[in-house]
Amino acid sequence: MIEVRDVSKWYGNFQALKDISFSINEGEIVGFLGPNGAGKTTAMRIITGYFLPNTGTISINGISMEENPAEAKKLLGYLPEIPPLYPEMPVNEYLKFVAELNGVPRSNIKQRLDFVIEKTSLQEKYYSKIKTLSKGLKQRVGIAAAVIHDPKVIVLDEPTIGLDPLQIIEIRNLIKDIAEEKTIILSSHILAEVEEVCSRVIIINNGEIIAEDSTENLRKRLQPDRLFLIKINEENDISTIVEKINGVISCTSENPKEYIIRTNDIPSIQAVITKSIVENGFSLLEVKEIELSLEEIFAKLIKGE
Amino acid sequence: MKKSWLLAKRDLNSLFLNSTIAPIILVIIYLASGFFFYSYFTYARVANLAGYIPNMIIILALTISIITARAFIEEKRNNTLELLFTSPLTDAQIYFGKFLAYNIFSIIMIAPVFVYTGILFIVGKPDVLPLIFTLIAYILLTVLFTTFSLLISYIASNQAVAAVVSFLVLLLLSLVDWIKNMVNLPFFKNLISMVSYSEHLSNLSKGLLDLNALLYFVLFIGVLIYINITLIESKK
């Protein structure tokens, strides 16, 4: 669906993107992850045809952005980091204007308008001027505008930045809702968001792609062992018992009632450990697997570990 | 063209329905226009526009600069250039949307001149040819001013700066003919003659079909359009 080949972008002497290549299949939801200034926005602006790259090519559904920008752009819906809204326009007129810009046939405009208004729950704000809307509502108008021409690909740059927690949940649900049959690229520095919404992540740092995989695989790669936190009621040392179990690498304790157990990646290991603790007469209060958070994955990748 | 008209319509709507400055500017220029026409007409008692138009030029340069400054600045402020540049539009379509909208507004600003032309025909017997050429020159000058202000609006990053710079340059362009008489270097004299529109304007108002003058306006406007579109393209 989207093919990016050897794309570089310079701003004067600064190279924002360094020969990046990736492809995204139809129906995928891909997250662009990276610290601020990593090149996420530049990459999105190049995919959407806002910038032309200095070298390399982009094609959307086989249509080259350089040779046939108008056709390629028709397939795209884009929500930039700051939603591009005309504050003095009412919501319905703005969305109609964007539909016409994107060449939606006049006979279809009403139907598309009703559809996106319903999806984004903007019915009550239909005639409201955009400048009177809250930040979350403005973001919804931006999303409505990005999908009004029923594009195959939707590009969202930091769609939840600056929103309050409730609005963030709303926008995430909205993204999942519109994701049916669409290819979505979403950038974020909120890692949980990418993990929740995306099937695959592309991690960018300093203009280079440093990792590209599913969140699950990334985690496995960086954390080959499993870690468990175990709490018991007694103050007896259980490490000698646990370390005898096949597959356990180590057992350390912070205090007499809490232990961190490192094991090999064996699916049934958790059951084996708990069973053995209970069988030895201890009261087990809590067993929790510790997973590397995306923040930690991210930090590890960026440091090149 | 259809897409440019769509953009222009939106801009005109925003100017007429949602800006406070546009109606104020229209009132000011209509009052000034009425004053200059009335005083020249009752004082000189000649059925032509030769005395009216030179009086209008400075205020026209000012009002066009103020209004047109917002053309691209407003889009930059709303971040809507990103919407336009990622929509299936060419850079030329985006430019001509602005060109159409702001030239239509400028023509509305000078519209009283058409009423005055009618009055001249009712109360007197004006020479038709000079009058028509004067009108054509006046319209071309308005388009030239607007096209220039658009370019400044694209380059500048602040509306007030754009308006001031645009007004100063248009003022200089209008007064440069005076400087010609103060310098003795033939090179500068020629250069000023090339840039200045005053001679062309006065030739046309005399009823001379001065092709040079027409060429001057068309070429000047064409070059400004070319520079502006090239700048838009190169920014990518």
Question: Using a CB-CB distance cutoff of 8 angstroms, which residues of chain B are in contact with residue A100?
Answer: 6
ipTM passes above 0.90: no
Question: What pLDDT does B150 receive?
Answer: 97
A50 to B236: CB separation less than 8 angstroms, yes or no: yes
Structure tokens at A83: 């939603």
**CB atoms closer than 10 angstroms to residue A290:** 13
Question: What pLDDT does A180 receive?
Answer: 79
Of residues B10, B19, B86, nearest to A50 (C-beta): B86
Q: Pick the residue with more confidence: A299 or B102?
A: B102
Q: Which residues pair with A9 in a beta bridge?
A: A17
Distance from CA of A42 to the nearest CA of B (A): 11
Question: What pLDDT does A102 receive?
Answer: 93
Mean pLDDT within A8-33: 90
Decide: A231 and A258 in contact? Cβ < 8 Å: yes
Contacts of B78 (CB under 8 A, 6+ apart): A84, A85, A86, A87
**Residue B99: C-alpha distances to residues B57, B109, B123, B131, B225 (Å):** 20, 15, 36, 26, 9
**Rounded mean pLDDT of chain B?**
89
Question: What pLDDT does B128 receive?
Answer: 85
Which residue bears the tokens 């927690």? Answer: A165
HEC per residue, A2-47: EEEEEEEEEECCEEEEEEEEEEECCCCEEEEECCCCCCHHHHHHHH
Confidence of residue B198 (pLDDT cuts 50, 70, 90): confident
Question: Using a CB-CB distance cutoff of 8 angstroms, which residues of chain A are in contact with residue B97?
Answer: none
Question: Using a CB-CB distance cutoff of 8 angstroms, which residues of chain B are in contact with residue A86?
Answer: 10, 14, 78, 80
Q: Is the pTM of the predicted complex or chain greater than 0.90? A: no
Mean pLDDT within B157-180: 89
Question: What pLDDT does A269 receive?
Answer: 86
Question: What pLDDT does B13 receive?
Answer: 93
B14 to A88: CB separation less than 8 angstroms, yes or no: yes
Decide: A148 and A95 in contact? Cβ < 8 Å: yes
**Rounded mean pLDDT of chain A?**
87
* Nearest residue in A to B9, CA atom: A97
Encode pLDDT of A176-209 as tens digits: 888 878 899 999 877 777 878 888 989 888 888 9
Mean pLDDT within A289-296: 73
% of chain B at pLDDT higher than 70:
100
Distance from CA of A210 to the nearest CA of B (A): 26
Is a pLDDT exceeding 80 seen at residue B74?
yes
Is a pLDDT exceeding 90 seen at residue B68?
yes
B87 to A145: CB separation less than 8 angstroms, yes or no: no
Question: What pLDDT does B191 receive?
Answer: 78
Mean pLDDT within B63-69: 95
Of residues A76, A87, A103, nearest to B86 (C-beta): A76
Encode pLDDT of A37-89 as tens digits: 888 899 999 999 998 899 999 999 999 998 999 899 999 999 999 999 999 99
B90 to A98: CB separation less than 8 angstroms, yes or no: no
Question: Using a CB-CB distance cutoff of 8 angstroms, which residues of chain B are in contact with residue A102?
Answer: 87-88
Mean pLDDT within A268-277: 87
Mean pLDDT within B124-139: 86
**Residue A75: C-alpha distances to residues A95, A117, A162 (Å):** 17, 20, 28
**CB atoms closer than 10 angstroms to residue A193:** 21
**Residue A157: C-alpha distances to residues A41, A43, A133 (Å):** 7, 10, 20
Encode pLDDT of A140-173 as tens digits: 999 999 999 999 999 999 988 878 888 888 888 8
Question: What pLDDT does B144 receive?
Answer: 95
Decide: A31 and A200 in contact? Cβ < 8 Å: yes
Mean pLDDT within B94-117: 95
**CB atoms closer than 10 angstroms to residue A214:** 13
B27's enclosing H/E stretch is helix B21-44
Question: What pLDDT does B48 receive?
Answer: 76
Is a pLDDT exceeding 70 seen at residue A305?
no
Mean pLDDT within B52-76: 92
Question: What pLDDT does B235 receive?
Answer: 75
B87 to A73: CB separation less than 8 angstroms, yes or no: yes
Using a CB–CB cutoff of 8 Å, tell me whether A136 touches chain B.
Answer: no
Mean pLDDT within B196-200: 80
A102 to B18: CB separation less than 8 angstroms, yes or no: no
A70 to B10: CB separation less than 8 angstroms, yes or no: no
Domains and CATH numbers, chain A: 2-220 (3.40.50.300), 223-298 (3.30.70.100)
% of chain B at pLDDT higher than 90:
56
Confidence of residue B46 (pLDDT cuts 50, 70, 90): confident
Which residue bears the tokens 């007409």? Answer: B41
Mean pLDDT within A82-99: 95
Distance from CA of B185 to the nearest CA of A (A): 41
Question: Using a CB-CB distance cutoff of 8 angstroms, which residues of chain A are in contact with residue B10?
Answer: 86, 89, 97
Residues 58-87 of A with CB under 8 A from B: 69-71, 73-74, 76, 78, 80, 82-87
Q: Which of A7-21, B25-39, B93-107, B119-133 has the lowest mean pLDDT?
A: B119-133
Angle between helices B198-205 and B128-155 (to 10 degrees): 150
Q: Which of A208-222, A237-251, B161-175 has the highest mean pLDDT?
A: B161-175
Confidence of residue B148 (pLDDT cuts 50, 70, 90): very high
Is a pLDDT exceeding 80 seen at residue A99?
yes
Question: What pLDDT does B85 receive?
Answer: 94
Contacts of A286 (CB under 8 A, 6+ apart): A229, A230, A231
Question: What pLDDT does B186 receive?
Answer: 79
HEC per residue, chain A: CEEEEEEEEEECCEEEEEEEEEEECCCCEEEEECCCCCCHHHHHHHHCCCCCCCEEEEEECCEECCCCHHHHHHCEEEECCCCCCCCCCEHHHHHHHHHHHCCCCHHHHHHHHHHHHHHCCCHHHCCCEHHHCCHHHHHHHHHHHHHCCCCCEEEEECCCCCCCHHHHHHHHHHHHHHCCCCEEEEEECCHHHHHHHCCEEEEEECCEEEEEECHHHHHHHHCCCEEEEEEECCCCCCHHHHHCCCCEEEEEEEECCEEEEEECCCCCHHHHHHHHHHHCCCCEEEEEEECCCHHHHHHHHHCCC
Question: What pLDDT does A98 receive?
Answer: 96
Is a pLDDT exceeding 70 seen at residue A304?
no
What single DSSP character describes residue B1?
A: -
B88 to A78: CB separation less than 8 angstroms, yes or no: no
Distance in angstroms (rounded) separating the CA atoms of residues A201 and A204: 10
Confidence of residue A294 (pLDDT cuts 50, 70, 90): low
Of residues A84, A88, A100, nearest to B83 (C-beta): A84
